[in-house]
Structures are given as structure tokens and as C-alpha cells.
Amino acid sequence: VTADLPVPPVLPLAWQGDAEDGTLALLDQTLLPGRELVLLRRTTAEVVDDIRRLAVRGAPLLGLAGAYGLVLAAREARDDAQLRAKADSLARARPTAVNLARAVKGALADARVRSAPPPRRGAVLLEIARRLEAEERAACDAIARHGALALGGLRRVLTHCNAGALVTPGLGTALAPLYALHHRGARIHVWVDETRPLLQGLRLTAYELGKAGVPHAVLADGAAAGLMRRGLVDAAIVGADRVCANGDVVNKVGTYGVALACRHHGVPFFVAAPRSTFDAATPTGAEVEIEERVGDGTRYLAPGTAVADSPTTEPAFDVTPAALVSAFVTPLGTFAPTELPPALFA
């Protein structure tokens, strides 16, 4: 922690102990804001289930859950085939955020893991997970500083979904610059899209901004364009689950609509992301598997609000074309979509 940045308002994940008998502590994000329950996980299957049911969520945190989940997998696996199968179940637990599969596959392919004798593998995997955690924390700090500069005097800032301390080991991605500015005394006001259907804005972004004392107001997703029309939004900033090679952004469903409304109203639209989210292997957004969470909430606001047999379509993410992004805020600096440096994709 340095003087220009605050302490993160919440810690969503922590490994406790050594590789042989440590546990992965996860804040159950399905219960927030009502209940702060920390889950202590000792098996791969538990972590896979936590990822699937969104107890742990958000691109960078999914990567970390995968990396620490592998430590548990190494402890359980009796041979290489079992370790690979368990790694596979972690990597596939959610498809859209590139961070998860990348962290799991990257750790498993690491030369030190491959050359370690099986009893040492867990310890090496734990080292790799801890390093990833430190890198992601440092990325948050860099994004906080670059983003604070990029926002300049823009004070009324809209965000969609939750890309804050709850999805990283630090200050977050999209929210990090806002925490930095607030900490330095700027009169920041955050417009929080509620983020239908699973309400990551209403439940999670409002929770962590509230803990940090950052002034904010939650709005229905459908209200954002109208606020822009009334001149009440100076900028928008969101996170990303994947940034494709051409700069297309995959993020929580509804992000595309925010970007379109921003373009129409001349409001700058920023995307904040660490290097682990930039994916050179996916040329454009059209190639990304968009997770469908059928039955996860579009239909039911409260008992009796939906016609029981009306079909729904429930994409969890959408693609915002690169051309709608004013700038990417990254640990390496702030870049126009046409000027993303290759180092971000390395």
C-alpha cells in the first residue's frame, strides 16, 4: 500500500497454509451483500462448483481460483492423468473469461511443474499461484494510476457489472481508478448499473463502493442511456472477460448497450483490463464462446412475475466492437484500440 492508493475494501480470496494441507478461502459472492461467508475449500470439486455457481467470479479472480485450485488437484491426483483431468475440470468450469483456462493451462505447462517430482508439484504450483496473485495485485495498482490520469477531471462515471476489489487481489480493474481518485480527494460519483439478470452491480459493486465510502447510486440498466442524454454521465468504465486480438471486448451482457449509448452521446467509454485478459489467440469477438446461463434469473424477479412457460434467452456476456472503445486502461498505460501494444498480448 502506498500513499496515493487506498487499501482494497475487501479480500475475496486467500490461500492459507502450505501446499500439503493448506486451504483456499473464498468469500461466497452469491450471498453478498446480505451475508459475508468465507468458504474454506480443500478439494478441486468444491472449487469447480464454486466457479460454476458464481461464488467466485470475475475474470482475474477466476484465474486465481484456477491456479490455487490446481494446488488442491495436485494433492488429490494419484497420477498425471488424474491431474490433467482435474485441471481440465477447472479450466472448463466457465468458458468466456480467458483468465481461467489460461491460468490453469499455463501453470500445468510450466517447465518447473513438469520437471518436479510428483510429491513436490503442489509446492511448485502454489508458488506459481502466489506469483500470479502478486502480479494481478500490481496490475490493479498500475491500472488505478493510469486510469486516474485517463479520467482526468471526469467525475460522474458509470460502470457495468462488478470489476472491483471483489474480482482481484487488489483494487480491481474498472473500479481501481475510481478508488484512487476518491482516495486523493476528487469528488467522484459512480453510477452503478444494476446489471440484470444476476445483479452484480446492485449486489456487489454497490457493496464494495459502500465499504470504501465512495459516493454512488444504483440505476436500472435501462436508465443509463437516459442519464447520458440528460448530461449526467461524464465517462463510463468497465472491465473485460477477454480482449480479442483485434480489440473486441467481451464483457458482462449489457456492456455493448452502454458502449453504444456512450458513442451516441459523446461520452468516453473506457475498458480496464490486466494483461491476463488480453487474448492473442482469439482474433475477434465472433470466435468467443458466450456462456448461456439458462434458468439463472432472466425470468424470475420474484414469484409470479413471469409467464411460467415463456422461453428466455440468457447470454451472460456480449461483445463490444473495438471501434466503440475510446481507450483501454492497462498496467502498461492507456491505449486507443488501434494502438494496443503487442506486449499486452504476450
Residues that bind ligand MRU (CB under 6 A): 57-60, 97, 161, 163, 167, 173, 200, 239-241, 251-252, 316
Of 191, 62, 25, 32, residue with least CA distance to 136? 62
Of 44 and 195, CB closest to ligand MRU:
195
Q: Please give the C-alpha separations between residue 30 and each of 26, 37, 50, 277, 289, in angstroms, as whole numbers.
A: 11, 10, 10, 23, 24
| Closer CB to ligand MRU, 85 or 134, in the complex | 134
d(CA 309, CA 304): 12
Catalytic site residue 234? no
Q: Which is nearer to ligand MRU, 122 or 254 (CB)?
A: 254
- Alpha carbon distance 93, 238 (integer Å): 23
- d(C-alpha 193, C-alpha 336), whole Å: 25
Question: Catalytic residue among 141, 193, 234, 241, which?
Answer: 241
Residues 6+ apart with CB under 8 A from 26: 12, 13, 38, 39, 41, 47, 50, 55, 56, 65
Residue 61: CB minimum distance to ligand MRU, A: 8
Residue 60 or 177 with smaller CB distance to ligand MRU? 60
Select from 241, 258, 93, 212 the least CA-distant residue to 204: 212
Shortest Cβ distance from residue 168 to ligand MRU (Å)? 6
**HSE (side-chain half, CA atoms, 13 Å) at 343:** 6
Closest distance of CB 271 from ligand MRU, Å: 9
Measured CA distances, 238 to 105, 326, 334 (Å): 26, 12, 14
> Considering the complex, what minimum distance in angstroms separates the CB of residue 32 from ligand MRU?
12
Neighbouring C-alpha atoms within 13 Å toward the C-beta of 199: 15
Which one, 57 or 146, has the nearer CB to ligand MRU?
57
Q: How far is the CB of 172 from ligand MRU (least distance, A)?
A: 6
Report the catalytic residues.
241
